[in-house]
Structures are given as structure tokens and as C-alpha cells.
Amino acid sequence: MSPNLKAILDTIATSEGTINRGDNGYNVLVGAGLFNSYADHPRTLVDLPNLGIKSTAAGRYQILEHNYDVYKAQLNLPDFSPDSQDAIAIQLIKECHAMDDVETGRFGEVIRKCASRWASLPGAGYGQHENKLDKLQAAYLAAGGKLMEA
């Protein structure tokens, strides 16, 4: 995994609020609870009254249960382990046509292109808290990411 890809994954986890929780975020339920087994997605519906929603988001990248089922089949994943969660996040980035931007350090473009996949990214538009681009860029740089040189 390239340093920029690792830094983007860390940035997404930072944005989703999971990176400093539990097992580096891989075992976090939405709402900050934890789950104990990577055998499968935890499939726990969590009530989030402050947002007026219920969610099955889980893991480092807050993957929804139904999305996990699709990617488990598509990517032939054995479980919901950290490697499987990373594979799903990378697939989501690929689907956003942002991998070239990741590798060349076009950070703002990566975030813009991937905002539809993670509610916490600026411009996501899901009515949930969206982080500021400068905060995320600082996290990306701290994680070893490099920006495209002008």
C-alpha cells in the first residue's frame, strides 16, 4: 500500500471518528460502541436520536451492513477483518475514480470525489456533521501523505 493510500485511509478513519477508538477503529460501531468479532459485519442497528436516524455503520470506515454484503460477494472477502475493511474502503475510492488523485497527492480532489461515500467528508450532504477540509488535510499530512507539488 502506498504512503498516500495509507494516509487517505487514515484520514477517512479520522473523519469518521474511529481512528483513535478500540482496535485502531476497526471494531467501532456507529455511536462509539465496540464489537468483538470480525467473523462478520456486526449487523447491529444503532439508534442515533440526535440525528434522527438508525444505522448499521461499523468498522474503521463505518461501512453499512447492506454495503458490506455487496462488497463481501464482489471482492470475495472472508470476513469483516481489518484487511477486509481496508479492501472495501479502497474499492469505494476506486469507484469514485479517485485512485489517480490519491497516488498523485491531489488531496482536495480525493475528498470531493469520495464525499458521496462518507457522510463526514465535506460536501457529503447527508445532514450529518461534515469535517472541514483543512482539518482533514492536516490529518492526511500527519499520516504521511504527500500533496501534489505545484
Which entry of 16, 95, 109, 149 is annotated as an active-site residue? 16
Taking only Cα atoms into account, the Rg of the chain, rounded to an integer number of angstroms, comes to: 15
Strands (E), 41-139: 46-48, 53-55
User: Do 84 and 77 meet the contact criterion of CB atoms below 8 Å apart?
Assistant: yes
The answer to whether residues 80 and 40 touch, using CB atoms and an 8 Å cutoff, is yes
Q: Is 16 a catalytic residue?
A: yes
Using CA atoms, how far apart are residues 36 and 107, in angstroms rounded to an integer? Answer: 33
The catalytic residue positions are: 16
